[in-house]
Structure 1
Amino acid sequence: MQFKDYYETLGVEPTAGEAEIKTAYRRLARKYHPDVSKEKGAEERFKAVNEAYEVLRDKDKRAEYDQLRAHGYRPGEEFRPPPGFGGPGFGGGGFRFEQDFGGGGGFSDFFESLFGGGRGPGRAQAPQGDVRATLSVSLEQAHAGGKQRISIDGRTLEVNIPAGIAPGQVIRLAGQGRRGGPRPSDLLLEVEYRPHAQFEVDGRNVLYTLPLAPWQAALGTTVSVPTLGGPVELRVPPDSDTGRKLRLRGRGLPGKPAPGDQIVEIEVRAPKASTDAQKDLYRQMADAFDFDPGRG
């Protein structure tokens, strides 16, 4: 098993703050998302980026990882967890279940050796002897609901995920916890959302950043925008600028009394001028506009 440098994977320094780490993750996740990327090995890079973010976004996991990294391990070196690392209680502890659909989306052996997973011991006991675990679900699954398979003690269980389930909610599987004793205990699955390459969540609302070319933002356009329920057409008004927010009503997560919305935030991106003709167009724009971005 090889040591992984999660900071190198995200392209950030070990001193990077939460905002920098999140920005780096979103940029790389968009770049390597299997649905849009044409680059060779994009799926594996996408998984590596997700794994790195899973560790560095969590202050407990990051602290434990930094402690390990301080031992001098380098990327690609053969790795064996030192005594006291890995197993129950590491990085916040508990029994963790990831999506199990026959491959794709799982974490590496390196991650599992440190933080555990749905394959081994490390079950946390709830007060009445029940077993408590974390169930990590995708935003798509939280939106639509459905079935998810998990493995525990050599058994495969199918969990029903209700549409609109929120982080922190608990799914109880009666009799599926600790075996033995007068009666089997229950398995309590506390839900968390997995990081998403395109979306963030604010309550029931889903947040999405829409990149636009300067002429699209200035002149207005209609673009196809991804949502958890599938792509929709969005009209962007003329004279839109970075930071402007547009609302797709009812396109957030299901809930009562009403579903959330999708908030689309515009981000204007200037294309790189690679040719003389393109540079000349920028010069013409500079002459045509009396514009100082510092004045707005």
Structure 2
Amino acid sequence: MTHSPGAQPDYWSVLGLEPGADAPSLKAAFRAQARRWHPDLNGNDPLAEERFKRVNEAYAVLSDPRRRQAWEAGGHSAGPGGSGSGDPFATGFPDFDDYLDALLGERRRPTQEEEPPVEREYDAETETHAETEGQTEVEAESAGSVTSAPAPPPPVQASSDQESLVELSPEQALQGERVELVLPDGTVVEVWTPPFAGDGWRLRLVGVTPGGGDHFLQLRVRTDEGLRIDGLRVLYPLELSPAEAALGCQVVVPTLRGPVKLRVPPCSSSGRLLRLRARGQEWGEQRGDQLVEVRIVVPDVLADDEAALYRRLQQLADDPDGGSR
């Protein structure tokens, strides 16, 4: 029997797996689902804690051959309250460090005299970011192990920062995605991008490069149609000719759910934002907007008659009364 008996939950479905999945798949699914539903990262979701506990219960049963056999046979001793389960979440919700210990295995905690190899500076509950030249910079949490390649200790090097480009789909940016980064010296760093990330965000991994420098992850979250993702919001640059922007026009713009017609009002300058309500990303009952930014472009080369018209427009702008004399 491979399905959940009676009132017991279907643990395979809880982890998003087909019945009988192997141990590596089971562990990977557990890590992904536990990260997704950890209440520290879902402060606005009252159901997150219950889902998180269900994910841990599912893993505790399916990873233990004895409890899994009892569950598949329809017994009740495989539940979270079963004797000798060793489930760290059976008696209550853990703090974040205890959760990581159970998720990744017991880690050696640094003493007061030593520093941890990677400093986790991103706090999902108190996420803040500032707009600087079109980019959003946050600090990312290193959520996994940092494994150095077997090599003799390198000589002391001057600190230098490094940067990598990471491309995410809109769905991956919304939910958070596991990224495995291989540094030039062979060090492997596992990072989870924060939920609701956006195009242009820079995630900082503190002190992981040779010499103690930081490594930055530049996030790219765009669609083939040119849509840029920023959390629930979607951004789209709309290029118009000067005549279209001055006189107004009707254009077709892409959205995440297909193209729509948009009426651009007359006298629209570059930088004007036009809002398409509820055309952004969805998260539960929340739905973001799509902002369309007007950008006026001119041809690379003007024909003689076009140049003459622009000169006449310039004369009218310099001398508004000149056309009446």
User: Structure 1-normalised TM-score?
Assistant: 0.37
Larger radius of gyration: 2
